[in-house]
Amino acid sequence: MAENRINREQVSREKTARRKAWQRPEVLPSPISQPGYAFHWVRVSTQGTVDATNVSSKLREGWEPVKAEDHPEITMVTVEQERFKENVVIGGLMLCKAPKELVEERNEYFAEQSKAQTTSVNNNLMRENDPRMPLFNERKTKVTFGNGT
C-alpha cells in the first residue's frame, strides 16, 4: 500500500495554490517607513494650477519635502514642476514627512477642536429642548424571553 503513494518531494504547493485575485493597484505608492517619522502626501497642484497656499501652509505646519534620492523604491517619480524636481511628486501630490510627535500633537489638537464643536452644537440644541415636546425621543428597548406558555 505504501508503494502507491506519491513521493512528497514531487508534490509542490505551487501547483495546488490558488490564483491570486486581482486587486486595484495603489494610486500613490507607500514609502518605506522610517522610525520616528510619519509620511503625508501634500497637494502641490490641481489640474495644472499651482497651489502655493496649500504647500506653504503644510510646510509651516512642520512637513518637510522628501527627496527622491532618499526613496528609490518609489519608481514612478515624475518631474511635474521645476520647483520640486528633486522631490517625490506624483499626480500633483508631493511626499512629505514630519516627526511622529508633531503629527500626534496635530491630531490631538484637531480632535479637541472637533470635540468642542460637537459639544457646542449639542448644547445649542439642548437649550431649545422642551420636556413637553423633546427634540430627541430617547427610546429604550428591552428584550425579554417568555416563559414558554
Triad 107, 108, 111: Cα angle to 5°:
85
Retrieve residue 131's grid coordinates.
Answer: 420636556
Residue 25 lies in a domain: no
Helix (H) / strand (E) containing 111: helix 100-127
- 139 part of a folded domain: no
pLDDT beyond 50 at 16: yes
3-state secondary structure 37-63: EEEEEEECEECCEECHHHHHHHHHHCC
| Number of folded domains that form the chain | 1
- Greatest mean pLDDT among 18-22, 37-41, 130-134 lies in 37-41
Judged against a pLDDT cut of 60, whether residue 5 lies above it is answered with yes
pLDDT in tens, 58-116: 999 999 998 888 887 775 545 555 677 778 888 888 889 999 999 999 999 999 999 99
Task: Read off the pTM.
Answer: 0.59
For residue 30, the tally of other CB atoms under 10 A from its CB is 10
Percent residues over pLDDT 90 in the chain: 23
Does 10 fall in a domain?
A: no
| Residue 146 forms part of a structural domain | no
Cell numbers at residue 21, please? 485575485
Give the residue numbers spanning the domain of 49: 39-127
**Position 56 in a domain:** yes
31: in domain? no
Is there a domain that residue 44 lies in? yes
Q: Give the Cα separation of 72 and 49 in Å (integer).
A: 27
Residue 68 to residue 75: CA distance in whole angstroms: 9
Instruction: Give residue 10's pLDDT.
Output: 67
In the prediction, which pLDDT does 25 show?
77
Taking alpha carbons only, the member of 110, 31, 87, 95 closest to residue 63 is 95
Please report whether residue 92 resides in a domain. Answer: yes
Yes or no: say if 45 and 81 are a contact pair by the CB < 8 Å rule.
yes
